[in-house]
Amino acid sequence: MTVKIRIKVLRAIKEITQAELSEKTGINQSAISEIESGKRSASIKMLERIAKGLDCKISDLIEE
């Protein structure tokens, strides 16, 4: 499973919209959408913020 799918799945499990994740992380909603669609790669800093917003470890997003 790729990072983009893990983010999307975790967000769905936690019932968080892209807009809500954007508010929690301070990352623009369009950037989150682009990451989830694979149009943009997330930096380590962004992954840290996304992990915090999803209440998970960064390793949950990047490891198999």
Query: Looking at residue 46, what is its pLDDT?
Result: 96
- Number of residues in the chain: 64
Q: Which of the pair, 64 or 58, is modelled with greater confidence?
A: 58
Tokens of 14: 């936690």
Instruction: Pick the closest to residue 11 from 53, 43, 40 (CA basis).
Output: 53
Please write the tens of the pLDDT for every residue from 1-21: 899 999 999 999 999 999 999
Alpha-carbon gap, residue 42 to 13, rounded angstroms: 21
C-alpha span between 23 and 21 (Å, rounded): 5
